[in-house]
């Protein structure tokens, strides 16, 4: 299973790798975009919104998870290249906005906060 996981928490990245050792775990928007630019197919792209140790980030910051969503939409990232997008941010407002934009543009996306059924949510995909 090809998983791309964006999160600034080393503990969460470590937890994902303990269950999915082949996952690509990154902590910055640029690392995420670099991987998405490689034209690889993904079963799951999982995005956090608030990065860099910040909470309740402005969604127009170029270094928050929403920047990945804007990039995907702006570049016309192929919907067929990703099976599902999960927004695992604790920032429920931003996660809702990310989900709405992605769904509006035809991607399959849903919010699954990391601590509430995250692994079960991935396992059921």
Token code pair at residue 4: 């791309």
SS3 at position 65: helix
Longest dimension (CA), the chain: 33
Q: Give the span between the Cα atoms of 71 and 112, in whole angstroms.
A: 21
Going 111 to 114 to 120 to 123, the CA torsion angle's sign is: positive
pLDDT tens digits, 57-87:
889 899 999 999 999 999 999 888 899 999 9
Residue 28 pLDDT exceeds 80: yes
- Which of the 8 DSSP states describes residue 111? E
Instruction: Find how far residue 56's CA is from the centre of its chain.
Output: 16
Q: Where are the alpha helices (DSSP H) in the chain?
A: 10-19, 29-36, 65-75, 92-104, 118-123
Q: What is the pTM of this model?
A: 0.92
Average pLDDT along the chain: 91
Q: Give the span between the Cα atoms of 121 and 31, in whole angstroms.
A: 24
> How many residues are present in the chain?
125
- Kindly state the average pLDDT of the residues 109-120: 80
- Kindly state the average pLDDT of the residues 106-120: 83
Q: Which domains does the chain have, with CATH numbers?
A: 3-123 (3.40.50.2300)
pLDDT tens digits, 37-49:
998 999 999 999 9
């Amino acid at each position: 299973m090809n998983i791309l996981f964006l999160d600034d928490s080393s503990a969460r990245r470590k937890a994902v790798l303990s269950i999915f050792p082949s996952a690509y775990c990154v902590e910055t928007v640029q690392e995420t975009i670099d991987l998405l630019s490689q034209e690889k197919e993904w079963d799951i792209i999982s995005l956090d919104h608030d990065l860099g140790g910040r909470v309740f980030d402005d969604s127009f910051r170029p270094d928050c998870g929403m920047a990945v969503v804007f990039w995907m939409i702006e570049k016309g990232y192929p919907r067929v290249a990703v099976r599902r997008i999960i927004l695992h941010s604790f920032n429920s407002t931003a996660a809702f906005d990310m989900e709405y934009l992605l769904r509006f543009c035809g991607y399959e996306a849903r919010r699954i906060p990391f601590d509430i059924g995250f692994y079960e949510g991935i396992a059921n995909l």
